[in-house]
Amino acid sequence: MQMFKFILDLPVPAELETPTEDIDVIVVRDKAMLWKLKSQAARITYRLFSRYANTTRYLGNDDEEKAWC
């Protein structure tokens, strides 16, 4: 899990972070290895939590936090 957190916390270079509407730039950015790594790490983390997380145990009282469980 710490490996996935490390990958997701990696900083994104400025050339990949600025918004654009240019299709050619978007295609090039989609092929960037950093985005692919972050995408796969996010997918695997989501699958692990959705499959194995125990949502019946909740310790807080906040209604907003309960919506996430």
Q: Evaluate whether residue 27 is within a structural domain.
A: yes
Q: 25-48, pLDDT tens digit by residue? A: 888 888 888 888 998 999 999 998
Q: Evaluate whether residue 56 is within a structural domain.
A: no
Q: Are 8 and 38 in contact (CB under 8 A)?
A: yes
State which residues form the domain around 31. 1-8+22-51
**Does residue 8 have a pLDDT over 80?**
yes
Q: Evaluate whether residue 46 is within a structural domain.
A: yes
Q: Are 46 and 40 in contact (CB under 8 A)?
A: no
* pTM of the entire predicted model: 0.62
Domain count, the chain: 1
Q: Evaluate whether residue 40 is within a structural domain.
A: yes
Q: Evaluate whether residue 16 is within a structural domain.
A: no
